[in-house]
Structure 1
C-alpha cells in the first residue's frame, strides 16, 4: 500500500518537512499525540485509577459510574410508584436523551442505584428544569438522602456530595430526584456520579465509563502522555485518614485535615509527637503480605520535623529528608526512593521482601537521620497523606482506600477490527513511539502489533534498563530483533522500527541499530499499547507521549531523522 496525501493533510506536510527536509515526505496514517489529552476513540479499554492532572494535583481519571446516563426508559432507572417518566429532549435539544418526571402522588421518586467502588466521597450531578408546579424538588445524594434544590424553568446543573452507602470494595450510591408535591413536573438529563469532586460529564450506556489516564509532571505540569500501569492493590486501609482506628499511635497524636494535600484538598493529616523523652513518635498499620517484593510509600511534608522514617517489619527504618528531598540511611537489602510532587510534598518509598503473613508497617517522625528516638516537644511532626503498601518492586500511582484494600486494574489500550485495518499496511510499515517505563526487567512493551498471540507480532519493547528493541516474529520464529542502547529505558525515548520483507531495523534517539536482511512479515490483526499480546503481561508501567504509524518502511536515514 502506497500512501497518498489527501487535501486535508496538506497542512501536515509543512510540519513534517522539519523532520525530513525538503521534498516529498511520508505522513503517518496514524498519529496519536497523547500529550494533547485526547485518546483516539478507536482505542478501547480502561479502568478506574488516579493520575496527576494539569494543575499538578492527584485526581481520579475521567469516569462516570451511572449507567444509561442518557437513556432513562431502561431497566437501570426506577420509580417508587408515585412518579411516571417519559423520554424527552435533553438541554441541548437532542430528542431521547432527557426524561420528564411527573409526580402522581406526593414524594414521587425517579432514581438509579449504582456501584461506586469503595465507600468514599462521591459527587452526583444532574441537569434539571421545572416544567410545571411550585412544590419542593429534591435531589438524591449518593448516601440516599434527599436535598432540596432550587430549580427554575431554565436548565441548571445541580451537584450533591456524600459518602456512598455501604462500606467495602463495592459500595452502592444513589442518584435521582424526588418531587414532593403531586402533579409537579421536571425534566432531567446528563446523569453523572464520580469519586471525588465534580468532573466534566461523560455519557454512558450499559456500563460505567472509565476514560484514559493522561498524566502530567507534578512539579513542572508538563504533559507526559498516556499512563499505562499493571494491576496493583493498596493493602493499607484508610490511606488518608491517619486518625482512624486502623492506625495505631505510639507517643504521638494525629491532627486530621491539617493542611492541603497533593490532591489539592485539605485532607492531609499531621503526625504530632508528644513531649515524651527518648522514645519513638510514630504510627503504624497492619496488612497481610506474601513473600515477594513489596513497596511501602507515603506522601510527606515537613511540619516542624524534616526527617521521616518508613518502618518495615522488625523495626527496620529507612530515612528520608523531606526538606531537601534526599534519601538518608537505608539498611540493606532495602532500597529507597524519594520524588518531589510539588508544593513541598515528597513521595517516599522503600522496597523489600517480607516474610509471608500479617505485618505492621508505618511512619516515624524523626529529629535526625539514622535515629528515630528523641525528645518530643509536643507540637512538631510530619504531614502525611496517601499511605500505600503494594506487592511490587516499585511504587505505582496512588490507590486511595477507606475501610478495605482496593485493587486498581491494569490499564489497557487496544485497536482492533476496522479501527486497526483502516491505517495498517500488511506488507510494510514503520512504528514510531515516544515513551518510557519502569518495567525494563519484564521486557515491557511500548507498542505491539500482533494476532493476539506471541506467534505473529511486531513489537517495540524495553529489552533492558538501557536498551530498546524491535522484534518481528512469524509463526513463532523470530525473524529480526535489532536493538539500540539508550541512557535509560525508564526515561522518555524516541524509538522507530521499519519492517518489510528481508529488511528490518530500528533507531532510537537518532542512533541506528543493525539491520536484519532476512525476515518474513507476519499476519497481524490488532495493536496494543503498553502491554503484551494478551494485554495482561509486560505492562509498561510508564507513559506514552506519542505514537505514529507510517504505512511504508522508512529508510535508515529517515529512522534516524525521525528519532532525533
Structure 2
C-alpha cells in the first residue's frame, strides 16, 4: 500500500481560543494566532523542543513589558530608559538604572488580594548590564514583606527568573515588588521585560499584557476517529515528552479514551500526589500503575505501553526494566474513539504542560525487549 503524506491538520484536531507565544527557529519570542499550534524552539540552542501544550493561564500583571507605565511604581533611585538592546520578543528591552542610595524598587499594586493557600509564580526576563547583582522578587502587603526570593542573574545573558510562593495571610494592599534591588550599587543596570504573575507552581509561556490582565486559553490536541488503524485487540503506544513543571498533579501524556467520559481510558500518565511519576493507567476496573520511574521536568522522557483486550499490560520508561501486569477489568477497546495528546481525557482535563516531541503507534504488542530498546 502506498504511503500518503499528511499535514499536521490532517492528523491532529487542534484548537486554542486565544493567541499565545512561542520561541521560533531564530530564538525570538513571537505571537501565534488563535487555533494555530506552537512548535517551540530553545531560544539559546535554536533546537526544536516540540509541540507546546499548556493549560489556561492568566497574567495578573498589567504592562508586562512597560515599566515606564504608571502601573509600575518606581522608587526615587530608579530610572527607566532604552538603548536598543532587544528582548526575547525582538522589541527593545527597558533598561533599569539605579542611582544613589535611595529606594531601588519597582512595584505594582494588584487589583485584588491573592488567595490564601493558593500557589502563584512570578517570573521575568532579565539581563544585567555589567557586573551582576542580587535582585529580590517579593510579595508585599503595603510596606510589609510577606514572602520573597533573592536571585543573582548571570551578566550578559538573557534569562528568565522566577519566584513561586503561597500566601499564608490575606493582604489589605497586595503588591508585587518584582524588582527589589538588594545590594544594588549606584549606577548598576539591568534589562527587564516579560513580567508575569500567574496561578500555579511553575511559569508558563509569556502572556503579554497592556492596560489589563490577559488570559491564554488551553491548547487542545486530539486524534479523533481512530478507524481504520486502531487495533482494539492489541496495540502499543509510545510517547516522547518534555514536561515543564515539577508539581504533583495528575497529568496525561497520551491517552486513549471514549470522548465525553472520564472512566473509559488507558494510556501514559503522571500519577497524582507523586512528583514526576511516569506511569500507565487503566480505568475502569482496577487502576493499574506501572513502576516509579520519574518523568524529569525539562528533560526528554520516553515511555511505551503495550496492551491487549485480554488485560495484558507491559510498560517501560527511559530504557528501564519492563513492568508487566494483567489488568482486572479495563476499557472496552472497541468503544475507544479518541487519542488525547498531553491530556488525560476530555478536552482540558489534566493537561501535561510541556512539549510533545514524538508519538508512535503499532497495531500489535511489542515485546519487552522492543519496549526497553524503544525508550532507551
Larger Rg: 1
Label 1:560 to 1:490 Cα distance change in 2 as closer, same or farther (>3 A): same
Matched ranges for 1:158-177 at <5 A: none
What TM-score results when the alignment is normalised by the length of structure 1?
0.59
1:253 correspondence with 2:70:
no
Tell me the number of residue pairs that the alignment of Structure 1 and Structure 2 aligns.
Answer: 356
1:52 correspondence with 2:23:
yes
1:426 correspondence with 2:225:
no
- Structure 2, unmatched stretches of 5+, are none
Asked if the contact 1:484–1:513 (Cα under 8 Å) also holds between the matched residues in 2, the reply is no
Cα-to-partner distance string for 1:203-252 (whole Å, 9 max, x where unaligned): xxxxxx52101111111111111111111110100111100010101021
1:496 correspondence with 2:304:
yes
Label 1:414 to 1:286 Cα distance change in 2 as closer, same or farther (>3 A): same
1:510 counterpart residue number: 319
Among 4, 8, 26, the residue aligned to 2:3 = 8
Q: Which moved more, 1:399-408 or 1:280-289?
A: 280-289
Instruction: Using the TM superposition, give the Cα deviation of residue 312 of structure 1 relative to its aligned residue in structure 2, in angstroms.
Output: 1.9
Alpha-carbon distance in structure 1 between the residues aligned to 2:79 and 2:164: 27
Matched residue of 1:215: which SS?
A: strand
Alpha-carbon distance in structure 1 between the residues aligned to 2:358 and 2:170: 41
Instruction: Using the TM superposition, give the Cα deviation of residue 365 of structure 1 relative to its aligned residue in structure 2, in angstroms.
Output: 6.2
Q: Which moved more, 1:437-446 or 1:287-296?
A: 437-446
Matched ranges for 1:99-248 at <5 A: 209-248=34-73
Alpha-carbon distance in structure 1 between the residues aligned to 2:275 and 2:9: 28
1:346 correspondence with 2:154:
no
Instruction: Using the TM superposition, give the Cα deviation of residue 518 of structure 1 relative to its aligned residue in structure 2, in angstroms.
Output: 4.1
2:366 counterpart residue number: 554
Instruction: Using the TM superposition, give the Cα deviation of residue 447 of structure 1 relative to its aligned residue in structure 2, in angstroms.
Output: 0.8
Instruction: Using the TM superposition, give the Cα deviation of residue 515 of structure 1 relative to its aligned residue in structure 2, in angstroms.
Output: 1.1
Asked if the contact 2:196–2:207 (Cα under 8 Å) also holds between the matched residues in 1, the reply is yes
2:13 counterpart residue number: 43
1:399 correspondence with 2:214:
no
Instruction: Using the TM superposition, give the Cα deviation of residue 517 of structure 1 relative to its aligned residue in structure 2, in angstroms.
Output: 2.4
Alpha-carbon distance in structure 1 between the residues aligned to 2:232 and 2:62: 50
Alpha-carbon distance in structure 1 between the residues aligned to 2:27 and 2:340: 28
Among 541, 553, 559, the residue aligned to 2:353 = 541
- Of structures 1 and 2, the one scoring higher in RCO (CA 8 A, sep 6+) is 2
Among 303, 306, 312, the residue aligned to 2:139 = 312
Task: Name the structure where strand makes up a greater proportion of residues.
Answer: 1
Matched residue of 2:104: which SS?
A: strand
1:478 correspondence with 2:286:
yes
1:134 counterpart residue number: none
Instruction: Using the TM superposition, give the Cα deviation of residue 38 of structure 1 relative to its aligned residue in structure 2, in angstroms.
Output: 4.8
Asked if the contact 1:439–1:540 (Cα under 8 Å) also holds between the matched residues in 2, the reply is no
1:360 correspondence with 2:360:
no
Alpha-carbon distance in structure 2 between the residues aligned to 1:466 and 1:563: 17
1:469 counterpart residue number: 279
Instruction: Using the TM superposition, give the Cα deviation of residue 305 of structure 1 relative to its aligned residue in structure 2, in angstroms.
Output: 5.1
Instruction: Using the TM superposition, give the Cα deviation of residue 512 of structure 1 relative to its aligned residue in structure 2, in angstroms.
Output: 3.0
Instruction: Using the TM superposition, give the Cα deviation of residue 495 of structure 1 relative to its aligned residue in structure 2, in angstroms.
Output: 0.4
Asked if the contact 1:512–1:560 (Cα under 8 Å) also holds between the matched residues in 2, the reply is yes
Asked if the contact 2:201–2:247 (Cα under 8 Å) also holds between the matched residues in 1, the reply is no
Asked if the contact 1:312–1:360 (Cα under 8 Å) also holds between the matched residues in 2, the reply is yes
Instruction: Using the TM superposition, give the Cα deviation of residue 407 of structure 1 relative to its aligned residue in structure 2, in angstroms.
Output: 0.7
Asked if the contact 1:237–1:404 (Cα under 8 Å) also holds between the matched residues in 2, the reply is yes
Alpha-carbon distance in structure 2 between the residues aligned to 1:374 and 1:52: 31
Matched residue of 1:559: which SS?
A: helix
What TM-score results when the alignment is normalised by the length of structure 2?
0.87
Cα-to-partner distance string for 1:230-280 (whole Å, 9 max, x where unaligned): 1111010011110001010102111146521111222x10111122x3x43
Q: Which moved more, 1:528-537 or 1:214-223?
A: 528-537
- Structure 1, unmatched stretches of 5+, are 1-5, 10-30, 64-208, 325-342, 367-371
Label 1:533 to 1:375 Cα distance change in 2 as closer, same or farther (>3 A): closer
Asked if the contact 1:446–1:460 (Cα under 8 Å) also holds between the matched residues in 2, the reply is yes
Asked if the contact 1:305–1:382 (Cα under 8 Å) also holds between the matched residues in 2, the reply is no
